[in-house]
Amino acid sequence: MNPTTWFMEATYLVASILFVLALKGMSHPDTARRGMFLAEAGMFAAIVGTLIGTHIVTWTWIIAGLAIGSIIGAWMAIWVPMTAMPQRPALSHAFGALAAALVGIGEFVVRGTQMGGVTRGALGFEIMLGALTTTGSLIAASKLQGIIEGKPIQFRGQNIVNFTIFLAMVACFAAFWIHPSAHIAFYSMLGIAFVFGIMLVIPIGSADMPVVMSLLNSYAGLASAATGFVLGNNVLIIAGTLDGFSGLILSILMCKAMNRSITNVLFGGFGAVIAEASSNAGGVMREISLDDAAMQLAFATRVVFVPGYGLATAQAQHAVRELAELLESRGVSVKYAIHPVAGRMPGHMNVLLAEANVPYSELCEMDQINPEFPTTDVAVVIGANDVVNPDARDNPKSLIAGMPILEVDRAKSVIVLKRGQGRGFSGLENPLFFKPRTTMLYGDAKSSLTHLAQAVQHV
């Protein structure tokens, strides 16, 4: 083994170890930042090892790619607002999957007929997963951004059509695998995979986007692993496998948090329903004044804040932290209740609150905080809807029946901060808003929390 090859393999080993440690670090909020730094170091080592250990024909395109990619990445990291954070990983999945698909096309053009059966099979999986993840991720990002309507786009016989498209894609894969010179089969497989990615995601409602994001992350990782097999690149195999299976595990956990199965998410079209499916909702929403809400909070013993996507939309994480610190200075016990699928991606609320330097010790998971709601004086719901809907617990006919929720309706008093009387992302009405112990504080969440803090100071 010559020195450059030895150096490349050594850096790949170091990168693989760093990726494993990074994944372990990102499993807990206290070590997540360190995990990200380890992942960055691992990727840097893999890039350096590849550039030094590979014969480079020309550096022009490599340098151009590094420069353009770094500029785009820095722009996304610095200027993309937290409200658009779910769309950012969706675009990242699309970019990564497209890169895998382009590498696969290049390998087919250069040495398609010279590949062995195993390598050719890996190439087919790389192309299929890369192509469908690219378009699927773009559709997911478009739904989250509001470019495409968030509700499921469905038509009669859609699952049969999708299954037919899937069979056609697999048939083209089989034809290419058996006959490596079958260019028509290869490019047909590529085109059908792009179409299948679109058809796979458009019937899924925005309420299920956390699971879709995890699944697309898994697909992108597996596409990268398949690319590693095609190129004989060990670090791609390891990193892609870690990414793929961690995404799959996260998808399963997300489905468990919503009492759903992955097949139900993919083929159920959740989110196409309207309020009539929630039979326990009805009555009058009682509005509360700012001064009355401030009075309740100021003289409470225990307050629990329940953040939702409305918190992200209003960029209110700093305002809620300031209000919480003010209450704590008055001797009030403050905690934050975090639902696993609150927001538009896994961990969305954790990221927002961490940005505002909220202590992790005050963040409580659903199983931890639910037993404490009966002794909570005031539960403040900030832009959350479906994750606090008691129909999931009380109405067996509800489409979210059985989904674990934050049981804020058991608190002594509930104040809901909302812009208006609209429904949640699922389209279901929430009977919590009509309960006698619930009051509504309408307006922008950031403005409401800021004015609440000012009012509390004068109590």
C-alpha span between 140 and 135 (Å, rounded): 9
C-alpha span between 315 and 235 (Å, rounded): 38
User: Degrees (nearest 5) of the Cα angle 281, 283, 287?
Assistant: 110
- pTM listed for this prediction: 0.77
Closest CA to 413 of 376, 368, 385: 376
Instruction: Reduce the DSSP state of residue 365 to 3 states and report it.
Output: strand
Alpha helices in 146-233 (DSSP H): 158-178, 183-201, 209-231
Residues labelled as active-site residues? 386
- Higher-confidence residue of 19 and 82: namely 19
- Residue 182's φ and ψ, nearest 5 degrees, are -80, 85
Whether the Cβ atoms of residue 209 and residue 144 lie closer than 8 Å to each other: yes
Residue 52: what pLDDT? Answer: 87
In this prediction, residue 270 has a pLDDT band, given cuts at 50, 70 and 90, of very low
Residue 19: what pLDDT? Answer: 93
Element containing residue 427 per DSSP (H, E) = none
pLDDT tens per residue, range 389-423: 998 888 887 777 778 899 999 999 999 998 876 66
- For residue 427, is pLDDT > 80? no
Residue 314: what pLDDT? Answer: 85
User: How does the average pLDDT of the chain come out, rounded?
Assistant: 86
- For residue 225, is pLDDT > 80? yes
In this prediction, residue 85 has a pLDDT band, given cuts at 50, 70 and 90, of confident
In this prediction, residue 275 has a pLDDT band, given cuts at 50, 70 and 90, of very low
Q: Which residues on adjacent β-strands are paired with residue 279? A: none
The string of DSSP letters for 82-113 reads GGGTTHHHHHHHHHHHHHHHHHHHHHHHHHGG
Whether the Cβ atoms of residue 321 and residue 449 lie closer than 8 Å to each other: no
Instruction: Reduce the DSSP state of residue 431 to 3 states and report it.
Output: helix
Where b means 16+ CB within 10 Å and e means fewer, 157-184 reads: ebeeebeebbeebeebbeebbeebebee
C-alpha span between 125 and 104 (Å, rounded): 9
Mean pLDDT across 170-174: 94
In this prediction, residue 31 has a pLDDT band, given cuts at 50, 70 and 90, of confident
pLDDT tens per residue, range 183-204: 899 999 999 999 999 998 888 8
Residue 272: what pLDDT? Answer: 45
Mean pLDDT across 65-76: 88
- For residue 54, is pLDDT > 60? yes
Question: What is the distance in angstroms between the CA of the first residue and the CA of the last residue of the chain?
Answer: 76
- For residue 68, is pLDDT > 80? yes
- Higher-confidence residue of 450 and 1: namely 450
pLDDT tens per residue, range 314-371: 889 999 999 999 999 999 999 999 988 887 777 788 888 888 888 888 899 898 999 9
pLDDT tens per residue, range 134-168: 999 999 888 888 788 777 788 888 889 999 999 99
- Residue 109's φ and ψ, nearest 5 degrees, are -65, -40
In this prediction, residue 248 has a pLDDT band, given cuts at 50, 70 and 90, of confident
Closest CA to 283 of 407, 442, 404, 437: 437
Domains and CATH numbers, the chain: 80-268 (no CATH), 275-457 (3.40.50.1220)
Residue 322: what pLDDT? Answer: 94
Whether the Cβ atoms of residue 154 and residue 269 lie closer than 8 Å to each other: yes
